[in-house]
Structure 1
Amino acid sequence: MKWDLDNPHTLEITVQPEDIDGLGHANNIVYVGWLERCAWQHSSSLGLGVEEYRKLDRAMAVFRHEIDYLSAAYEGDQLVMATWIISWDKKLRMTRHFQLCRKSDGATLLRARTTFVCIEVSTGKPKRMPPIFIEVYAKGMSADAETGEVTRD
């Protein structure tokens, strides 16, 4: 795959029959689910899963999705979703970049950015990231994040 940034965290996806809409391709809402699954998998691999969020009474919640749907996916397609943490303020906000590619031809089907805000789980209100978030999410930062540049075809 020709990734936008180096060293992505990746999620393998096979487009299922239930992912297909009336137009014969994967429905746009399904892509949002794939973004969420990839982000959760990455956070969990770094050591911050749902259980840790609950114990800490903190979580990173979606504030904004920006999605560019570039090409359709079809039933049976083998895809790879990649994610990188590309920016954060070490207080409340963190941004991930996503890229979805089809294995058969390497085509990029989607690019997205999701901005997350740290919340207190018990109240749903914004709260500062605890020190463990800063320590753990630093390990997931893209090496390219310093420049803020994301290369595109």
Structure 2
Amino acid sequence: MAKSGVYTYTFTVPEAAIDFNGHVGNVTYLEWMVEAATRHSAAMGWSMQRCLEAGGTWVAKKHCIEYRRPAFAHQRLRMRTWLESIEKIKALRRYEILDDESDALLAGGETEWIFVDAKRFRPMRIPDRIVASFVQGGGEEHDGDEGRQSK
């Protein structure tokens, strides 16, 4: 199925994200990706709570991150995320983390998300209303910048 619109927001790297190498640690990028997926879903009207009310929840099957350049404390970054595809029980979400000033790509990634029954944790069909919420947005940019610092 067609991909969703791109959800974009900016944030500043906090000191707490810096590892022993003096730059953002690997696990932090994964946390940012999960946060971006959660924020995008909520912006499309599907918060975690609303998904649970619909009887399901998302679980990650696979994450992949490619690091290109390091990020540092106080650097302003831009997160971009979108659904590349959405099928019967799964969605492939892509991410780009860029330097907000230079547009340099710092990291890119993807997650394969599986929609599961919230009580039995067995795969279930993604409700049509959830699918429609993402694909009807076309190629729109959704700016979710809230002026907050991310982890």
What's the TM-score once normalised by structure 2's chain length?
A: 0.84
In 2, Cα distance between equivalents of 1:113 and 1:84: 10
Q: Does 1:45 align with 2:60?
A: no
The aligned counterpart of 2:143 is none
Q: Which structure has more helix as a fraction of its residues?
A: 1
Instruction: Give the Å deviation of 1:6.
Output: 10
Whichever residue aligns with residue 61 of structure 1, its letter is V
8 A Cα contact 2:11 2:77, kept in partner: yes
The one of 24, 29, 32 aligned to 1:31? 29
The aligned counterpart of 1:82 is 80
Q: Classify 1:140/1:114 alpha carbon distance in 2 versus 1 (closer, same or farther; 3 Å).
A: farther
The one of 107, 111, 114 aligned to 1:110? 107
> Per the alignment, in what secondary structure is the counterpart of residue 129 of structure 2?
helix
> Per the alignment, in what secondary structure is the counterpart of residue 52 of structure 1?
helix
CA RMSD of aligned residues (A): 2.0
1:73-123 C-alpha deviation (Å, 9 max, x unpaired):
00000000101111122x101111111101122110001011111101112
Structure 2 unaligned residues grouped into runs of 5+: 141-151
Total equivalences in the alignment? 138
Q: Classify 1:97/1:142 alpha carbon distance in 2 versus 1 (closer, same or farther; 3 Å).
A: farther
List aligned pairs for 1:1-153, cutoff 5 A: 8-89=6-87, 91-140=88-137
What's the TM-score once normalised by structure 1's chain length?
A: 0.83
1:36-78 C-alpha deviation (Å, 9 max, x unpaired):
1111111111110011111112122211111101110000000
> Per the alignment, in what secondary structure is the counterpart of residue 51 of structure 1?
helix
Whichever residue aligns with residue 119 of structure 2, its letter is S
> Per the alignment, in what secondary structure is the counterpart of residue 10 of structure 2?
strand
> Per the alignment, in what secondary structure is the counterpart of residue 63 of structure 1?
strand
> Per the alignment, in what secondary structure is the counterpart of residue 28 of structure 2?
helix
Instruction: Give the Å deviation of 1:11.
Output: 2.2
